Amino acid sequence: MKKKIDKQAVRTWVRNAKKVCKQLILPFSVFQAIRTIIFPTTFDVLLLAIFILIYLGFQYEWF
């Protein structure tokens, strides 16, 4: 038998995960910006760009 998944519980979990990401993305972005200024590698620049896009996505409610 298949176990039924409670859709409301999944929505609550996703909503909570989005809230946590929204709170943590700015400090990660600031840290990554400082790291990119000190050690500018290709990976650091790409990671900073991804963090900025995620931050903008939360600000403009793309997610």
Does this model's pTM top 0.85? My answer is no
In this prediction, residue 63 has a pLDDT band, given cuts at 50, 70 and 90, of confident
Q: Report residue 45 as tokens.
A: 């620049």
pLDDT digits (tens, 9 = 90+) for 22-58: 999 999 999 999 999 999 999 999 999 999 999 999 9
Q: What is the pLDDT of residue 21?
A: 93
In this prediction, residue 6 has a pLDDT band, given cuts at 50, 70 and 90, of confident
Residue 50's nearest CA partner among 36, 12, 18, 16 is 36
